[in-house]
Chains A and B, each alone.
Chain A
Amino acid sequence: MAEATQPDLAVALGGLRLSWPTLMGSGCYGSGEEYAPFIDLAALGGVVLKSVTRHPRLGNAAPRLVSTPSGLLNAIGLQNPGIDAYLENDVAKFADRPCAVIGSVAGFSVDDYAYVTERLAARDEIDAIELNISCPNVGTEGETFACDPSLAEAATRAARGVTDKTLIVKLSPNVTDIAAIARVVEAAGADALAVINTVRGMSIDVDRWTPRLGNANGGLSGPAIRPVAVLAVWEVAQAVKIPIVGQGGIETARDALEFILAGASAVGIGTGNFTDPRVPLNVVDGIRDYLAARGHATLSEIVGKANPRFAGVR
């Protein structure tokens, strides 16, 4: 009898092929090099870089982080050097990454998304683009694109028009009907969806009578939002056929499997890296063991298996 082969965990997001179904969430992983002393980057599916905008952004005033029960509230405010300095100083360093490098684009107008996407996607170091239309921490403008179907469609169409590379659009949970947004983004040409960004939240210092975050409101991540995220993936997976990157509070393989069984083809890991940088390795090992124990040859065989109305292509 032939030796049992390892289950195949590779996944395709549009034209982007990932060796492992794990993406490191934008804003949580810097450019990847910050974690290189602690983990072999080749063991990651890919790193979604910190979002870049058209103009430099100073970021929000401190405090930018508050720890909450099973969660982390953040309001960084898209601190970044702007696309000009980013292309000049940073992007060349991504050339030798042993995993996929996905640029993240944030904006405040449809034109911003097109402009920054076109310039970033033109670089060979960048394998794919994630459109961050859902940052909750930059006043009312940032998240507007993920909360209004016509703006979500316009931003996606604008980015689609300037690059053939894989285009992932990151959706916000802070909407009434995430499936409706997912549908228009799919129709506008997205290759994949990242579900979800952080959940809006606030914490108040009752001694000082003031919000704890410098920005007052922030975005909640971590295990506290996992059930919210799993449901969002479940609903989106019934609405679209393009692959979904499920994310929100994943710390173990079994957490990741919830998303996969709900309909995600791959998973994002963000805050989990702050507990232990080896979480992505443990997730991949655990998924592999799970598939092997159940006799599955590929991860794709189980995508959406808990979701009777799963609409995607396995």
Chain B
Amino acid sequence: MYTLERSPAVHRTVVSDRREPVPGIVILGLHVPRLASITLPGQFAMVVPPSGEQEATALGIYEAEGERVSLMLVVVGPRTRELAELQIGALLDLLAPLGNGFELEALGDNVALIAGGVGIASLLLPAQALAARGARLTLLYGARTAAALVDADRFAALGAKVVLATDDGTRGHAGFVTELLRALPKHAFSGIAGCGPSPMLRAVGRAAAYLDIPAQLALEETFACGVGACWGCVVPHAASSTGTPVGLIRAKRAEPPARESDRFCYARICKEGPVFWAHELRW
């Protein structure tokens, strides 16, 4: 449960700065008292649309320091376009901070951060917190093309070893970033923190299991409410974690599947997540 001090609320913010590091990706800096200090790495915000004509948008909190937070958004549709076109001085309301962040202590002192696309946005705060603790960091960062790689130098500045991959081979490894992970020796890291699209995170989970490295994954999903009310954003999860109804993954098999790993429930990504232990997901 949230402590009172960390309880989410409606925060009124003012756009303080705006950066478009690469075409189609915008970083909105927001002036907002009393949000940065209570935000945990991996948490997100529901952004209330200024026009009121769209649904709220879930975005990971990219930066949080002093009286400023920032959000990174890819322009993919009317909701993100409306936000991307906001000018300095515009008002923007957030429901934040939401969800459960990374359990950084459990990742140890030699951590791989693995990002796919705009998933990079949820990994800067963990990187900063881990660097402050003296952890050794490696960033594995993949994107569609070189022009879609954002702010890798921010991670290098924290002392992270940065390894890049692009689908089209225009920068770094030509192929998926998860291929880089899979090629490493077992126990190459003490922990993995990942964020990106679901197919990529599934591959991270499989690679982490193969390498025998504990991994926490921040899931990206379309939310309706973002606060745990609507049960729209679920992921199959090990059955033990919540009190929700339990199903059997192999429910149609004739003989009774007695294995504990066959039992699952649907966990809410916005409430029980968005960060989950990879080995507890049943997807």
Chain A residues close to B by CB (< 8 Å) = 27-30, 34-35, 37-38, 50, 56-59, 62-67, 72, 74, 76, 79-82, 85, 89, 222, 251-252, 271, 273-278
Contacts and interface: CB of A to CB of B under 8 A. Distances in A.
Contacts of A57: 245
B254 to A, nearest CB: 20
Nearest to A75: B232
Q: How would you classify the secondary structure of chain B's contact residues: helix, strand, loop or mixed?
A: loop
Given A58-B245, A277-B95, A278-B10, A65 B229 contact: no
A276 B244 CA distance: 27
Contacts of B227: 30, 34-35, 37-38
A276 B52 contact: yes
B224 A72 contact: yes
Contacts of A63: 222
B230 A62 contact: no
Interface residues of B, number: 36
Nearest to A276: B48
Nearest to A30: B229
B229 A34 contact: yes
A62 B198 CA distance: 12
A74 B93 contact: no
Nearest to B78: A69
Nearest to A251: B52
B231 A89 contact: no
Chain A CB within 10 Å — which of B95, B230, B247 has the most?
B230
A58 B228 contact: no
B10 A277 contact: yes
A37 B8 contact: yes
A274 B225 contact: yes
**What DSSP secondary structure best describes chain A's contact surface?**
loop
30 contacts: A27-B231, A30-B225, A30-B229, A34-B271, A37-B9, A37-B227, A38-B9, A38-B227, A50-B231, A58-B245, A58-B246, A58-B265, A62-B234, A62-B266, A64-B234, A65-B223, A65-B230, A65-B233, A66-B222, A74-B230, A79-B234, A81-B245, A222-B55, A275-B48, A275-B49, A275-B52, A275-B54, A275-B56, A276-B56, A276-B93
A81 B224 contact: no
Interface in B207-253: 222-236, 243-247
A85 B243 contact: yes
A274 B56 contact: yes
Nearest to A76: B231
Given A64-B233, A251-B52, 14 more contacts: A27-B231, A30-B225, A30-B227, A34-B225, A34-B271, A38-B10, A59-B266, A64-B232, A74-B230, A80-B245, A273-B225, A275-B49, A275-B56, A276-B93
A220 B254 CA distance: 36
B7 interface: yes
A254 to B, nearest CB: 12
Interface string B46-75: 001100101110000000000000000000
A58 B264 CA distance: 9
Contacts of B223: 65
Contact of A67 (B222, B225, B271): B222
A274 B265 contact: no
A90 to B, nearest CB: 9
Nearest to A31: B229
A45 to B, nearest CB: 17
A72 to B, nearest CB: 6
Contacts of B228: 30, 34
Given A59-B266, A274-B56, A275-B49, A82 B245 contact: yes
6 cross-chain pairs, A with B, having the tightest CB-CB distances, nearest first: A30-B229, A56-B245, A65-B232, A34-B229, A58-B247, A34-B228
A67 B79 CA distance: 11
